[in-house]
Structure 1
Amino acid sequence: MSAETPVCQLLERQDADYSGWLWVAPPRDAWLEAGEGTLLTADQAVLAAWRARGRPAVSPLEAAPAAPPGAVLFWPKSHALGEWWLLWLCATLPPGAPLQLVGEHQGGIKRVLRVLAALGLGCRKVDSARRCTLFETRLDRVDLDPEAAWSRFEAEGLTLASHPGVFGHGKLDDGTRLLLSQLPGRITAGSEVLDLGCGDGILAAWLARQAARVTAVDVSHFAVEATRRTLVANGLDGEVLASDVYSALEARRFDTIVSNPPFHQERAIDYGPVGRLILEAPAHLRPGGQLLLVANAFLPYPDLLTRAFGGFEILADDRRFRVYAASA
């Protein structure tokens, strides 16, 4: 089976023996999933895919893997998240363990040289092809704690926890702000509400503050942990789960689903998860339940909403974002 993504195609042509290595934050690629080694990722969808094949896969927020012969870090589009992965690997794996770093040029892989130099880690270029580059270094202990990447900020009278790679890291997104402006009067105390794609937990916390019974889900384990920390910081209750859209919810139904869904996967536009969110929403709403969704105005969600619900209402439109409502 051949590699599908450019970064994996670059790795596939290497002479290195990757048996038993740790694959850190990789994309979905059948070549990797059918190969050797252990997955380390905070992406629930990738975790589920590997585990479905019987492959070993762990989250950095759940457990540390056994010491591997080496690791390959797939450099993410969030530079700060890439730095966090480096700090975590330095703090967790044995000093001297080989680490390869691979990424696309448009994704900022060449900036890795400055990051490694700042950490006192040497580096050499191994290969370059398909607009990707592969670097190699050896891990060592550094004086920076990966826990220091967590931060807090204030918004809407709430204290929010944030982490690199979480949507809207360190600030309130304008689309979320517009959605929040439409929620008063639409959420009743005691109603069961699902925050789908919870990010830093701003919606979950706002809903819990209105005495709603909140379930919050996100595909990112960093977002799940951020939402948990946000609820604790504000003395609020809610259930928070790692879930690829509705995958962790089985047949559960809610009075309201709220979401500011992402439409990017790394740098590519990806409507797949949002399509599932909208089309499967009626099966997760009680009769008369509502979906409240904010999205960039240019995105083609009206067609999906019409297919799923037969119609919809636009609650707000500031030319950048729209807030949609649809009832089951």
Structure 2
Amino acid sequence: MNAETIRSSTLRAETPACQLLERQGLDYRGWWWVAPPRDTWLEAGQGTAVSADLGVRAAWLAAGRPAISPFAALPVQAGGAPPGAVLFWPKSHALGEWWLLWLCAILPEGTPLQLVGENQGGVRRVLKVLAALGLGCRKRDSARRCSLFETRLARVGIDPDAAWTTFETDPGDGPLTLTSHPGVFGHGKLDAGTLLLLETLPGVLPTGEGDVLDDVPGDVLDMGCGDGILAAWLARRGARVTAVDVNAFAVEASRRTLAANDLVGEALESDVYSALDGRTFAAIVSNPPFHQERAVDYGPAARLILEAPDHLEAGGQLIIVANAFLPYPDLLERAFGGFEILADDRRFRVYRAVRG
């Protein structure tokens, strides 16, 4: 038994999908764990995480485990192909299909692939997906309301880049071209909450002649940028925009959206403020997420609000839109000592808080 196995044997899997994998008793040394959940059994065990989620990769690296992004230079390109891969089937089936196509495109033919996920998340659909691609498949195991399938990769003749889509939207003052990808918030459409935020911003952000933000005293931060609609809207008005998201697909989508509209802005992977090195902004705008897959998770939004004063200049504004039922007023009160509601359509509210 090697040191890796000894170390991981002292921990038990926490998530149902990992508990199903744990009971297989297989040697996963060198395997890729693709789109994995947070689970200390994985992070202390064997193999390499391949994830678009910066928070997941940071946790693996903090545990001394290798972790890579699908947008980074991959070890397989230098002859370091893994002996196998496990794909955790995501909530977005289109995103799961992208991961599958991507693995078929970059890993050697015949590489073993396991696919695991919760039954209520639709993992059983992988049987039809694999059949449509001409890949054989068998069910290996099921437990904890999860299923585990296995197959071998092959060339399928479909470019995973075909998943990138563009669409036109008009937030009220002229069309923008948005680039999106499965798994990115608001994929393929303009979210109603974001639209309310866009309708509200002209009344609260300083504007110069012709509604151009040429007198904004500093940078504007788009937190949780998604497909880049807010970043593009702000950049078109002359704002100096930094767009951040924990999701590498969202960061890439924002970069492509800015480029598609001939706009300038910076897009960075960041777990809330982690990549900003203490920078401060004249304004932070956001439609913050409150889901992690199917689970409600207020953590990122709470950090966004509570840490915002440290990233705002004196007099700087935090402007966010949220579902009306979410418990953000208490957080805004704690962080800023007060706030105002700029818009409320019963579904969504736009809040503003100002750093004194």
Tell me, yes or no, whether TM beats 0.5.
Answer: yes
Q: Give the secondary-structure state (helix, strand or coil) at the position aligned to 2:268.
A: strand
Larger Rg belongs to = 2
Distance 1:267 1:6 in 2: 14
Aligned amino acid, residue 107 of structure 1: G
Q: 1:262 aligns with which of 289, 292, 310?
A: 289
Q: Give the secondary-structure state (helix, strand or coil) at the position aligned to 1:184.
A: helix
Distance 1:222 1:305 in 2: 29
Q: How does 1:128-207 map to 2 (within 5 A)?
A: 128-156=142-170, 157-188=175-206, 189-190=213-214, 191=216, 192-207=219-234
How far apart are 1:208 and its partner, in Å?
0.3
Distance 1:64 1:108 in 2: 29
Aligned amino acid, residue 165 of structure 1: G
Distance 1:108 1:88 in 2: 20
1:239 and 2:266 equivalent?
yes
What is the aligned partner in structure 2 of residue 213 from structure 1? Answer: 240
Aligned amino acid, residue 186 of structure 1: V
Show CA shifts across 1:136-167 (max 9, x none): 00000001100110000011210000000000
Number of residue equivalences: 328
How far apart are 1:106 and its partner, in Å?
1.1
Show CA shifts across 1:170-211 (max 9, x none): 000000000000111433424310000000000000000110
Q: Give the secondary-structure state (helix, strand or coil) at the position aligned to 1:280.
A: helix
Aligned amino acid, residue 257 of structure 2: T
1:119 and 2:133 equivalent?
yes
What is the aligned partner in structure 1 of residue 4 from structure 2? Answer: none
Distance 1:32 1:129 in 2: 18
What is the aligned partner in structure 2 of residue 16 from structure 1? Answer: 26
What is the aligned partner in structure 1 of residue 348 from structure 2? Answer: 321
Q: How does 1:286-297 map to 2 (within 5 A)?
A: 286-297=313-324
What is the aligned partner in structure 1 of residue 48 from structure 2? Answer: 38
Distance 2:63 2:268 in 1: 22
1:70 and 2:84 equivalent?
yes
How far apart are 1:277 and its partner, in Å?
0.4
Question: Any conservation in 2 of the 1:64–1:92 contact (CA below 8 Å)?
Answer: no
Structure 2-normalised TM-score? 0.91
1:279 and 2:306 equivalent?
yes
Q: Give the secondary-structure state (helix, strand or coil) at the position aligned to 1:143.
A: coil
Unaligned runs of 5+ in 2: 1-10, 207-212
Q: 1:100 aligns with which of 87, 105, 114?
A: 114
Moved more, 302-311 or 62-71: 62-71
How far apart are 1:50 and its partner, in Å?
1.0
RMSD: 0.8
Question: Any conservation in 2 of the 1:258–1:292 contact (CA below 8 Å)?
Answer: yes
How far apart are 1:16 and its partner, in Å?
1.6
Unaligned runs of 5+ in 1: none
Question: Any conservation in 2 of the 1:40–1:58 contact (CA below 8 Å)?
Answer: yes
Question: Any conservation in 2 of the 1:187–1:212 contact (CA below 8 Å)?
Answer: no
Q: Give the secondary-structure state (helix, strand or coil) at the position aligned to 2:202.
A: coil
Show CA shifts across 1:11-47 (max 9, x none): 1110221111000000010000001111100001011
Q: Give the secondary-structure state (helix, strand or coil) at the position aligned to 1:207.
A: helix
Show CA shifts across 1:258-291 (max 9, x none): 0001100000000001000000000000011000
Show CA shifts across 1:84-118 (max 9, x none): 00000000000000000000011110001000000
Distance 2:248 2:205 in 1: 27
Distance 1:326 1:167 in 2: 24
Which runs of at least 4 in structure 1 moved beyond 4 Å after TM superposition? none
How far apart are 1:63 and its partner, in Å?
2.1
Identity, in percent, stands at 76
Distance 2:58 2:39 in 1: 13
Moved more, 187-196 or 246-255: 187-196
How far apart are 1:48 and its partner, in Å?
1.0
